Amino acid sequence: MSGVQTLEVRPEEEGMRLDRWIKTRCPDMPHSRMQKALRKGEIRLDGGRAKTDARVAAGQSVRIPPYDAAPPPGQRPPKGPDPRDEAFVRKLVIFRNAAILGLDKPPGLAVQGGSKTDRHLDGMLEFLTFDAQEKPRLVHRLDKDTSGVMLLARDRETATELGRALKGRQMQKIYWAITAGVPDPEQGTIRIPLSKQGGAGGERVVADPDEGQSAVTEFRVMERAARKAALVALWPRTGRTHQIRAHLAAIGTPVLGDGKYGGKDAFLPGDELPKGLHLHARSLTLPPGVPGAGARIVAQPPPHFRKTLSLFEFETGGPDFDDPFAELTE
């Protein structure tokens, strides 16, 4: 990379170690170059010197000095935006005002890139500028195989406000999951602290009552097929990585198709059931302090999810589905 660049920390990146943040945003920077730049003060956090283990905060600026980068042997250089993605990503827009975009993310589309991910939502943001002066900013993430509502901020001020609302638990996000088995009891609150864990299967989280971060999920069974499966509405009060998937697996009813957390118990016998993760971000209500506050953005489930609903003859209409946790917000 030639020339100095200044990058802004996104809301969803808050709390990351500086060295890990740099690796995420500048994956082609050699580790030795990063360490040298930190020692010499060439990398600066909000204008000041910073240590490797400093924690970044949303809205902070990071100065990145020039560096020589080349893809590792055998790895292709990153691709630029594909013009064919413009029509694709614009069709995902289900809400738009002067400050916010709401997208219906399909399953299988990664939100951000990685060593084996060339095509991702972050690489398509320039196609969603519309009438704004800058491309929109990601304010939260969904797993690659999770579908549904995602928010984008169209300016820095709104990104900060939405990040604050997410962190302060002021935004109601409702998910639908089809579970293998039926939660017992059928309504309640899961409070199981979670810790991140690496490994060959990639990043995952595990229950950790002693040192884990607080994780709280409200749930309610909306429909059931005997004891075989259930349609469950969920409201994650906290936003931990893979929180819903880990919590449902922990109570013995993993998300259907979620082998990562449920193992073989996440799959039901029968060839007619569609493959894929049955977790969908159904709706999101915009918080106070942003344009459109109070608006509820709703995304329809993807085809494989709808087919499973039909096979189990699950109904999805009525006031209970519009607001399954009304008693918690009254």
Please identify every residue annotated as catalytic.
143
Q: Which two tokens stand for residue 56?
A: 């970044």
Number of Cβ within a 10 Å radius of residue 323: 17
Please say whether the beta carbons of 273 and 311 come within 8 A: yes
E runs forming strands in 160-228:
172-180, 187-191, 194-197, 204-207, 216-225
Q: Which residues of 101-125 are buried (b: 16+ CB within 10 A; e: fewer)?
A: bbbbbebebbbbbeeeeeebbebbb
Please say whether the beta carbons of 102 and 108 come within 8 A: no
- Residue in 290, 313, 324, 99 with CA at minimum distance from that of residue 222: 324
Tell me the C-alpha distance between 154 and 291, whole Å: 11
219 forms beta bridges with 188, 234
Task: Give the DSSP H or E segment for 156.
Answer: helix 156-167
- CA 178 from centre of chain: 19
DSSP-derived pairing of the beta strands 279-285 and 147-153: parallel
Tell me the C-alpha distance between 239 and 284, whole Å: 14
